[in-house]
Amino acid sequence: MRSNALGRLLTVAAVAALALVAARPSDAAEDHTGAHARGTRTAAHARVTAEPVRIMPLGDSITGSPGCWRSLLWNRLQDTGYTGIDMVGTLGPQGCSLPYDGDNEGHGGALATVTADQGQLPGWLAATHPDIVVMHFGTNDVWSAVDPGRILDAYSTLVAQMRADNPAMKIVVAQILPMAPSGCAECGARVEALNALIPEWARQTSTAGSPVVVVDQWTGFDTAADTYDGVHPNASGDAKMADRWYPALTGFLTPAADGRPAARTTG
């Protein structure tokens, strides 16, 4: 009797052991599953890192109507390997001889002070979520005899709104073009007064995580030769503007091995 009971116990144990072996995945299956999971994570990471850098051109008609310096700048970036970029804005292209990514926030007649005071920028940011803003803004404020200090206050408000949307926002700000419109003899001096204050404002506003870089669009720009009306750039003016923006903008872009740039994480 004891012998038969012992035999039955051994039989049950053997069946249980076989069941456990059958239920346990093989090492090869585990390796395959783990490799698949790692591959899925790697693919997801690749999709994230492959996202284009989103660049918002911000300003008035010099930026958007039609603002063909943007066309020249975009094509130069493409030609030099910076292909993973996306120009963003709620406005589309308004012409220019070269095909280009023409999305922008260049609003004809806009004042920086009004844009800041009326809270217009947050909606544009929410619709596009840029990584970098390229801003030439203040010409209409100067034309309207707005005090330079008030214009800089508007700049500060706009920067705060940018950082609220993206704490790591990179900001490229112009010392604006000279201007000599008919009927505004004082405009040239007003531009110089504003431009003289921008570098120090930028120094105080810039942070390691969200740098503010100044681009001198004033020096060497001739209102007689480089504009068609004393204010808005012609073809030679557009070329000068694109040439000035390019090194500052690419300072925030790191070409990858495949030519795709990525926004730097520090200034």
CA distance 150 to 3: 102
Q: Do 114 and 91 belong to one domain?
A: yes
Boundary of a domain, candidates 10, 30, 46: 46
Q: Do 212 and 87 belong to one domain?
A: yes
Instruction: Check residue 59 and give its pLDDT.
Output: 98
Q: Do 75 and 107 belong to one domain?
A: yes
**DSSP-derived 3-state class of residue 255:** strand
Q: Do 141 and 23 belong to one domain?
A: no
CA distance 142 to 135: 16
Boundary of a domain, candidates 30, 46, 62: 46
Q: Do 119 and 182 belong to one domain?
A: yes
- H-run or E-run covering 140: helix 139-143
Q: Do 96 and 22 belong to one domain?
A: no
How confident is the model over 178-192, as pLDDT tens digits? 999 999 999 999 999
Instruction: Supply the CATH number for residue 68's domain.
Output: 3.40.50.1110
Q: Do 26 and 98 belong to one domain?
A: no
How confident is the model over 147-176, as pLDDT tens digits? 999 999 999 999 999 999 999 999 999 999
pLDDT < 50: residue spans in the chain: 1-49, 257-267
Q: Do 95 and 10 belong to one domain?
A: no
Domain coverage including residue 30 = 2-46
> Can you spell out the DSSP letters for 193-225?
HHHHHHHHHHHHH--SSS-EEEEE-STT--HHH
Contact between 91 and 104 under an 8 Å Cβ cutoff? The reply is yes
Q: Do 106 and 15 belong to one domain?
A: no
- When divided into structural domains, the chain yields a total of 2
Q: Do 57 and 25 belong to one domain?
A: no
H helices, E strands: number in the chain: 11, 8
CA distance 22 to 33: 17
Q: Do 41 and 147 belong to one domain?
A: no
pTM, whole model, 2 decimals?
Answer: 0.79
Q: Do 22 and 116 belong to one domain?
A: no
